[in-house]
Structure 1
Amino acid sequence: MPINTTFQIGEKADAYDAIVIGSGVSGGWAAKELTEKGLKTLVLERGRPVEHRKDYITEHKAPWEFDLRGQLTQEEKKEYSQAVRIGYLDKTALHFFSKDSESPYVEEKPFVWARGYQVGGKSITWGRYTFRISDLDFEANQKEGVGVDWPIRYKDIAPWYDYVEQFAGISGEKLGLDYLPDGNFQKPMELNVVEKHLRKRIRELYPERYLTIARAAVLTEPIGERAPCHYCGPCWRGCSTGSYFSSLSSTLPAAAATGNLTIRPFSVVHSIIYDPETRKASGVRVIDSETKETIEFKAKVIFVCASAMASTQILLNSKSEEFPDGIGNTSRVLGHYLMDHHLGMDVNATVPGFLDRTTRGNRPIGFYIPRYRNIGGASDMPDFSRGYGFEGAAYREGWSKAFGMEGFGADFKNKIKEAGEWRVGMWGFGETLPYYDNHARLHPTETDEFGIPKMVFNAEIKDNEKRMRQDCLDSMAEMLENIGCTNITAEDNAAGAVPGFGIHEMGTARMGRDPKTSFLNGNNQAHEVPNLFVTDGACMTSSPCQNPSITYMALTARAADFAVKQLKSGNL
C-alpha cells in the first residue's frame, strides 16, 4: 500500500489535529492510532523518504555484488565512525544509517549513538526481538528503593501488548512464566537439532532455566498482504514481503489508508512551541533540511517519538520563559537516568556430535534464555540486583573455519567445503540501573548545521552492572561445561559495556507518579504540558533486560487512546 507523502507547508500548517515527531517503531504506531481515531495527523521525519519494497536496494544482493564484498573502505569508516562502533555495519545497510557529519555529538564518556534518518527510522534495521516485561520489572524500583516507582503495572499494559502483537505479528513459544509473560503469538519458528539438545540438557540440569526460540516480530503466518518469512536472511536490508514488522510495511500504510495522514520528510525538529496562555504545546518548529527554511506547524496534540536521545534533545531545546531548562522540565530530571542494556558478555563453545545433521535456510532469529537471576528464592543474588537474558544460536562451521587452518592445494580446498563442527554462541543482555548522574544534556556553545545544540553524553555502567557481567559469564560457561560442551570461551567485551552500544537507549524523560521526580505520568503525558506525550524509550522508568520495542509499541497505542479520549472530552 503506498504511503501518502503529501507536503503541506505554510498557511496550511494549522490544519492538523496531531503532530507525531518520528516515523519509526513508536512514531508509526502513534500515526496509526491517531489517524484511525479520526485525527488529521502530520508525521515529521528528519530524514529522506523511503518507499517499502522499492527502496530496499541491497535486499537480495549476493556478497560478490558489493565492492570489497560489502566491507567498508577506510573513508567510509571515518564517515560513519559512530555507527561502525555497533560492530555489524557494512555496505549492505550503510544507506540506512547516518553519517557523523549529519549527527554530531560530544562524548564526555564513551557513548554510541547510532541513528537512521529516513521514513521508517530504525524499524527497518532493528533486531525484531519482542519480549513483554512483567510486574517483576514494574515493581523492582519500588521494592529496592531505586529510582522512582513505575506509575503502571502489568495489568495496565497487558491488553495493549495483546493489541499490538496481533497487528504486528509476533511468532514465539508460550512458556507460562510469570516473569516473562506469554503473548498473542503466531506459531514459533523451529529450533535446530543442536538447540533442541541444549534445551533438553539445560532443563535436566537447571530446572529454573529455559531455552526457547526467540519471540520476534517475524511472521510465520500471513497477515493481510504480509507474507510469512521465507528465511532469506538479510533482514536489516529491508523486507519486501513485509514478513518482519516495520512502520514502512505495517503501521504507516494503515495510517495512510485512513486518509488522515501527511508525512513530511527532510523536517529537522528544532523545538516544541509552548503557549503560556493555554499552558499547552501549540506546535512544532521545524527546519527544512533541504531549504534551511524555518516552519512552524500547529496541532492540538503532540507525540514525541524521535527515539530516546533525539526526543530528549528536542525537549531540552524547547525553551521558554516558563521552562528555561526545557519544556515541562521544572523537575530538571529531563536528560537524567540514561539507561541502555549492557552487552559484550559473549560465550562460545563446541557442541560434540550431530555431524550427520545440518541446517537449511537462514532463520532470521536465534534462541533465547530468559533471566534466571533474582527472580525469587534460590535465584536471588547477594552481589547484584536485577538480571540478564541470553540470545544465541547453534550452527555448523562453514568455510570461515579455514582461517588459521594449515594446508594448500586441492585437498585444502575440499576440506574447506566440508561442514565443520557444531558451535553455539550466546550473548548476554543485562539491565542497567537508573542513575541520576548518567545523563545527556545540551552543549552550551556547540551546535550542528541547523543551529541545534549538540548533545553531550556522560554515562557509564557501574559496580552493580560489573558484578552482573561477571556472574553472567561465569554461570553460562559453567552451564555449557556441565551439559557437555567443549572449547568454551567466555569473553567480557568492553565495547559492549559502553552505553548506546545496545541501541536500547532509555530513561531520559521517565514516567513516574510525582511531577517533582519524573517527566511523564502513567499515560506517557507530560506532567506540566497536558497535550504533550513521549512514548519512545525516553519514557522508561527502568531498563528490564528484555528487548524493549514491543513495550514502546504497547505504551504508544495506550497513550494515543488516552490522548484522543481526552481531546474529544475537551480536556486537551
Structure 2
Amino acid sequence: MNTEEQYDAIVVGTGISGGWAAKELCENGLKTLVLERGRMVEHIKDYPTMNDDPWDYELKGELSSEDKKKYHIQKRLGWAPKEDVKHFFVNDLDHPYVETKRFDWIRGYQVGGRSLTWGRQSYRWSDIDFEANKKEGIGIDWPVRYADIAPWYDKVEEYIGVSGQNLGLKQLPDGKFLPPMELNCVEQGLQKSIADNFDDGRLLTIGRAAHITDKDAQIEGRGVCQNRNRCWRGCPFGGYFSSNSSTLPAAERTGNMTLRPNSIVYEVIYDDKTKRAVGVQVIDAETHEKIEFKAKVIFLCASAMASVGILMQSKSERFPNGLGNDSDALGRGIMDHHYKLGATAKVEGYLDNYYKGRRANGFYIPRFVNLDEKTRRKNYLRGFGYQGGASRGDWSQSIAEMGYGKNLKKEILKPGQWQIGVTGFGEFLPYDDNRVTLSETKKDTWGLPQLDFDVEFKENEYNMREDIKKQIVAMFKAAGFKDVTSYDEASGPGLGIHEMGGARMGSSPKTSIVNKNNQVHLVPNVYVTDGAFMSSSSCVNPSLTYMAFTARAANHAAQQFKAGKFS
C-alpha cells in the first residue's frame, strides 16, 4: 500500500459499527481506508465449519485441554467457544488484559468482528431510555432523543432485515419488520398465561431478530434464513446480518473502499496547529512494522473498550490524558447487561406437538418494571427484559445408560419432554468509578499497554438481579410449569457481551467525550460510533442502536467533509 496516500476517511474496525461506517462513507463518495486488527474473513469462503455436524468432531465439539488454556476467558461464556467456532474468538494467551476486578471480555478479532457471532436480537431504544439519566440524576443527560434517531432505526432495519412484531409499547418502539418467526406451542401457552395472570402490562412476543424471513425480500446479496441455527459459524446463505455478508460488500461495490486486515490501530495522530486529527498510527499484526495512514475523517469503531484504549493512547502536548479528554471522562462509566441468571422448568403435556427446523431466535418479554407508579420498584432503578425458549428434551433422558440395541433405535426416534429456559437482561447504571485504564506495567505482544478493568456490579444491580429471578419464577409457576428453578451463575460484567461506555456522549466537553453527532467535542473530525459513546445502557441488546447512530454520524461526516469543514 502507498502509505503516503491521503484518504478522505479512515474507519477503524469492521464489526457491526465499522461495517456501517464503511458503507455510508463509501456510498457518499469518500475514499475510505478500513483497518481491521484481525485476519481476513471473506463471506462464505472463510466459514470452514458452516456445514459441519456434531459427529464431525472428535470431542463432540468440546475444546481440547490445550485449547481450553488458550480460550480460558472466552469459555466463561459456556456456550462458546466450541470446536466449531473457536476461530472466531480470540486466543486469550495472545491477547491478555488486566482484571483489577473480574471483567469477562469476549472478543473476535477478524474482518467482521463479532457481527459473525452476535445474537442478532435487534430492539429500539425509547425516550424512557434517553431521558432516564436526566430524570433520575444519574450520570449525564443524553443530548439526543428518540425522534433524532428514529429515521436511522428505520434505515438500518430495512437494510439489515429485522423480523418481528409491532406491539405499540412505549418502552419498546415499533419498527420496520419482516414477518415474525413463530412461537411454538409451549411458548404460546406461556404467552396466554402471562396475559391472563398479570395486570402490569407484561407480555411475551417473538424476538426481533436480524434474520431475513421473507423469501421475496429484496436485500442485495442475501438469502432467506434456513432455520439451521448455525449462525455463529458464519451463514453461507446470508440469512442473518453480518458485516461480511452485507455492509462491507456494499462498501466494496462503490469502488471507494480499501480494506487492510492485520492492522492494529493504537493512536490517532493530532495536529496542534489545525486542531484536527490527521491520521492514525498502526502496527502490522504480522510483521510488527509501524505504519502511519492519513485521512481527513477518522471513525473509531474498534469495539467499545478497544476504541477507548486507542483514545487513551492518543496522547499529545494538548491532550496529555488522551485525545479529547479534558473532562477526565475517558474510560469512565463502563457498563454491560446482566446475564447468566434466570430460570428453567419442565413442562407437562403438549406431547402431541412438535416444531419444524431449528429456529435461530427465542421469545422476548419486554421491560415491565419502573415504567409508572404501578410498576415502580423501591429498591432499584431502571428495568430488565427476558429472552428464552421452549424445546423438546433430548432422547437420552429417556434412555440413560440402560438403552441399547433395538430399544435404543426405538427411543432415539422419540422426542423427550418439553422444557423451557429464560435469561434476564437488566440495565447497568453508569458509574464514574467503573472504569478502564491503561496498565502502567503490562504490555501486549506488540508492546502496547494492556487495558486494566476496574468494573463491578453495585447495589442497584444486585437488587435488580433478585427481582429478575423472582418475576420469572412467578410467571413459570403461574403457567403450571414443574420443577421451576432459578439460577444466578457467578460472572463479572462483560459476559453479556454488551460492554459499553468509556467515551460517553453529552452536551459539554466538560463532562463527556463526544457530542450529539458522535464527534469528539474537541477534535471534531474524529467520530466514535461503537459502544464506547453510550451514556447509559437501557436493558435491550444494543447493536441496532450502534448501527443507527453510526449511519447517522457517517452521513453527518460526509456532509461536513463535502462542505470543507475538515480541510
Q: Aligned-pair distance for 1:445? A: 2.1
Contact 1:346-1:493 within 8 A present in 2 as well: no
What's the counterpart of residue 99 of structure 2? 107
TM-score, L = length of structure 1: 0.96
Contact 1:398-1:417 within 8 A present in 2 as well: no
Match status 1:349 vs 2:345: yes
Q: 509, 513, 517: which is aligned to 1:519?
A: 513
| 1:384-435, Cα deviation, whole Å (9 max, x unpaired) | 11011000001111124258x4634457624454222111110000110001
Counterpart AA for 1:75: E
Aligned residue runs from structure 1 range 387-536, under 5 A: 387-401=383-397, 405=400, 407-410=402-405, 413=408, 414-415=410-411, 417-495=413-491, 498-536=492-530
Match of 1:310, SS? Answer: helix
Q: 33, 43, 47: which is aligned to 2:34?
A: 43
Match status 1:213 vs 2:209: no
CA distance in 1, matches of 2:550, 2:9: 14
Counterpart AA for 1:40: K
Counterpart AA for 2:524: P
Q: Cα distance 1:79–1:9, how it changes in 2: closer, same or farther (>3 A)?
A: farther
Match status 1:53 vs 2:44: yes
Q: Aligned-pair distance for 1:225? A: 2.8
Match status 1:561 vs 2:555: yes
CA distance in 1, matches of 2:370, 2:164: 24
Counterpart AA for 2:506: G
Between the two proteins, the alignment pairs up a number of residues equal to 560
Counterpart AA for 2:49: T
Counterpart AA for 2:497: I
What's the counterpart of residue 136 of structure 1? 128
Q: Aligned-pair distance for 1:438? A: 0.6
Q: Aligned-pair distance for 1:562? A: 1.0
Aligned residue runs from structure 1 range 271-282, under 5 A: 271-282=267-278
Contact 2:304-2:531 within 8 A present in 1 as well: yes
| 1:15-63, Cα deviation, whole Å (9 max, x unpaired) | x100000001000000000000010000000011111011110011011
Match status 1:228 vs 2:221: no
Q: Aligned-pair distance for 1:561? A: 1.1
Q: Cα distance 1:402–1:307, how it changes in 2: closer, same or farther (>3 A)?
A: farther
What's the counterpart of residue 4 of structure 1? none
CA distance in 2, matches of 1:378, 1:201: 20
CA distance in 2, matches of 1:387, 1:412: 49
CA distance in 1, matches of 2:554, 2:396: 49
CA distance in 1, matches of 2:474, 2:406: 38
What's the counterpart of residue 165 of structure 2? 173
Contact 2:4-2:293 within 8 A present in 1 as well: no
Counterpart AA for 1:219: I
Match status 1:22 vs 2:13: yes
Q: Cα distance 1:53–1:529, how it changes in 2: closer, same or farther (>3 A)?
A: same
Counterpart AA for 2:561: L
Q: Aligned-pair distance for 1:570? A: 2.3
Q: Cα distance 1:551–1:107, how it changes in 2: closer, same or farther (>3 A)?
A: same
Query: Bigger CA drift: 230-239 or 197-206?
Result: 197-206
Q: Cα distance 1:106–1:412, how it changes in 2: closer, same or farther (>3 A)?
A: farther
Q: 304, 310, 315: which is aligned to 1:319?
A: 315
CA distance in 2, matches of 1:308, 1:400: 42
Match of 1:299, SS? Answer: strand
Match of 2:122, SS? Answer: coil
CA distance in 2, matches of 1:325, 1:527: 15
| 1:449-480, Cα deviation, whole Å (9 max, x unpaired) | 21110000011111101010101101110111
Contact 2:125-2:540 within 8 A present in 1 as well: yes
CA distance in 2, matches of 1:39, 1:156: 24
Q: 275, 296, 300: which is aligned to 1:300?
A: 296
Q: Aligned-pair distance for 1:217? A: 0.5
Match of 2:269, SS? Answer: strand
Q: Aligned-pair distance for 1:10? A: 2.5
Q: Aligned-pair distance for 1:226? A: 1.0
Aligned residue runs from structure 1 range 234-273, under 5 A: 234-273=230-269
For structure 1, the 5+ residue unaligned runs are 1-7
| 1:116-143, Cα deviation, whole Å (9 max, x unpaired) | 1111111001100000010010000000
Counterpart AA for 2:529: T
For structure 2, the 5+ residue unaligned runs are none
Match of 1:67, SS? Answer: coil
Q: Cα distance 1:233–1:564, how it changes in 2: closer, same or farther (>3 A)?
A: same
Contact 1:20-1:30 within 8 A present in 2 as well: yes
Contact 2:162-2:176 within 8 A present in 1 as well: yes
Counterpart AA for 2:189: H
What's the counterpart of residue 3 of structure 1? none
Contact 1:24-1:122 within 8 A present in 2 as well: yes
Match of 1:531, SS? Answer: strand
CA distance in 1, matches of 2:132, 2:328: 24
What's the counterpart of residue 11 of structure 1? 4
Counterpart AA for 2:203: Y
CA distance in 2, matches of 1:519, 1:295: 27
What's the counterpart of residue 382 of structure 1? 378
Contact 2:117-2:231 within 8 A present in 1 as well: yes
Contact 1:188-1:220 within 8 A present in 2 as well: yes
Match status 1:370 vs 2:366: yes
Match of 1:490, SS? Answer: strand
**What is the identity percentage for the equivalent residue pairs of Structure 1 and Structure 2?**
54
Contact 1:428-1:472 within 8 A present in 2 as well: yes
List, as ranges, runs of 4+ consecutive aligned residues in structure 1 with deviation greater than 2 Å: 8-12, 399-403, 405-418
Match of 2:485, SS? Answer: strand
Query: Bigger CA drift: 181-190 or 418-427?
Result: 418-427
Match of 1:473, SS? Answer: helix
Counterpart AA for 1:179: Q
Q: Aligned-pair distance for 1:567? A: 1.7
Match status 1:69 vs 2:60: yes
Contact 1:525-1:533 within 8 A present in 2 as well: yes
Match status 1:94 vs 2:86: yes
Q: Aligned-pair distance for 1:232? A: 1.2
CA distance in 2, matches of 1:434, 1:173: 31
Match of 1:500, SS? Answer: coil
Q: Aligned-pair distance for 1:332? A: 1.1
Contact 1:401-1:416 within 8 A present in 2 as well: no
Q: Cα distance 1:33–1:203, how it changes in 2: closer, same or farther (>3 A)?
A: same
Q: Aligned-pair distance for 1:342? A: 1.3
Counterpart AA for 1:80: Y
